[in-house]
């Protein structure tokens, strides 16, 4: 009986090993991006926030380095994006229209965006890829709240949750943690609302409907975040604070009162927060 049991166990192990053949632990199986040939270094966003249609609309410019200078196709991750146009910025600063196709959709991964690099574009230099696009009202990373569902009840709100592979639903990009990028953004909103991002936020910025952000530290795409609403700031300490609706400020300050203390302890162990 024991011998038969051991034979069965060995068979299971052999079958399991066979299924692992060809598996590459360095490959992200949840991304279409050809990161073995191209890697994004910087992202520049210019987006309008449309609460009437529940969409973001505008453009992104990706600064991309070619690892394989012979490759002539860039593959990006998308999900439910309406791609209007794609162009590469030539050395003279002028856009060169690029041919692009949307590949076969996948229930989990979304749809690959295949971009052909136009003739005359030197892949040995940094590639600047501009994509004009619009998100879908059902974008998996974006939550659109009507005024009735906010604490104040007067203004709508939108916020994002890109983790783990949802950034591709509001930005066409290489949506994999193996790629880390710096980013900048210009976000246009209704003038009575404030936009904040996972970047440098100025608590004293005028509420004028046009907001500029900069993230100088390379981060994975799932950490790109945005929120827009009737938001106000309250400091928690020298380096920390909280943004929320005015009706929630006091409760939020109380909830996160220890944030500065935790940052102080972390800085003693690992150096200044940057």
What tens digit of pLDDT does each residue of 229-264 get? 999 999 999 999 999 999 999 999 999 999 999 999
Q: What architecture does CATH give domain 38-138+171-221? A: Sandwich (2.60)
pLDDT at position 15: 47
Reply yes or no: is the peptide bond before residue 164 cis, omega within 30 of 0: yes
DSSP conformation class of 117: P
Cβ-based neighbours of 273, under 8 Å, separated by 6 or more: 239, 263, 266, 267
Report which of 224, 87, 90, 104 is spatially closest to residue 166, judged by C-alpha positions: 224
pLDDT at position 224: 99
178 three-state secondary structure: coil
pLDDT at position 9: 47
- Distance separating alpha carbons of residues 53 and 46, to the nearest angstrom: 18
What residue has token string 């900069």? 214
pLDDT at position 238: 92
Domain limits, the chain: 38-138+171-221
In terms of Cβ atoms closer than 10 Å to its own Cβ (0-12, 13-18, 19+), residue 250 is exposed
Strand partners, 220: 180
Cα dist from 271 to 188, 235, 236, 268, whole Å? 35, 22, 20, 6
Contacts of 55-59 spanning 24+ positions with Cβ under 8 A? 55/134, 55/135, 55/136, 55/137, 55/139, 56/134, 56/135, 56/139, 56/142, 56/170, 57/133, 57/134, 57/135, 58/132, 58/133, 58/188, 59/130, 59/131, 59/132, 59/133
DSSP-derived secondary structure for 231-260: -EEEE-SSS-EEEE-GGGHHHHHHHTTTHH
pLDDT at position 23: 86
- Distance separating alpha carbons of residues 190 and 158, to the nearest angstrom: 12
pLDDT in single tens digits along all 274 residues of the chain: 545 544 444 444 444 444 556 888 889 999 999 999 999 999 999 999 999 999 999 999 999 999 999 999 999 999 999 999 999 999 889 999 999 999 999 999 999 999 999 999 999 999 999 999 999 999 999 999 999 999 999 999 999 999 999 999 999 999 999 999 999 999 999 999 999 999 999 999 999 999 999 999 999 999 999 999 999 999 999 999 999 999 999 999 999 999 999 999 999 999 998 7
Cα dist from 12 to 9, 16, 17, 18, whole Å? 5, 6, 9, 10
- Distance separating alpha carbons of residues 269 and 88, to the nearest angstrom: 44
């Amino acid at each position: 009986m024991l011998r038969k049991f051991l034979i069965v166990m060995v068979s299971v192990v052999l079958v399991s090993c066979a299924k692992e053949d060809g598996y590459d632990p360095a490959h992200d199986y949840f991304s279409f991006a050809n990161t073995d040939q191209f890697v994004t270094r910087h992202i520049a966003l210019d987006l309008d926030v449309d609460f009437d249609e529940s969409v973001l609309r505008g453009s992104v410019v990706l600064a991309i380095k070619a690892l394989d200078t012979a490759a002539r196709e860039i593959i990006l991750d998308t999900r439910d994006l309406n791609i209007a146009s794609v162009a590469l910025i030539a050395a003279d600063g002028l856009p060169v229209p690029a041919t692009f196709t949307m590949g076969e959709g996948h229930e989990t991964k979304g749809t690959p965006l295949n971009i052909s690099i136009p003739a005359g574009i030197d892949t040995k230099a940094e590639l600047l890829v501009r994509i004009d696009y619009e998100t879908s009202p059902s974008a998996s990373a974006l939550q659109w709240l009507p005024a009735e569902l906010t604490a104040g009840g007067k203004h709508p709100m939108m916020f994002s949750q890109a983790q783990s592979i949802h950034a591709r639903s509001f930005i066409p990009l290489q949506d994999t943690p193996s790629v880390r990028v710096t980013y900048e953004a210009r976000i246009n909103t209704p003038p009575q609302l404030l936009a904040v991002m996972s970047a440098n936020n100025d608590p004293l910025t005028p509420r004028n409907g046009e907001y500029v952000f900069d993230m100088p530290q390379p981060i994975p795409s799932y950490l790109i975040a945005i929120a827009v609403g009737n938001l106000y700031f309250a400091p928690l300490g020298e380096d920390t604070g909280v943004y929320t609706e005015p009706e929630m400020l006091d409760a939020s300050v109380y909830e996160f009162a220890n944030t500065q203390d935790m940052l102080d302890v972390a800085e003693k162990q690992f150096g200044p927060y940057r």
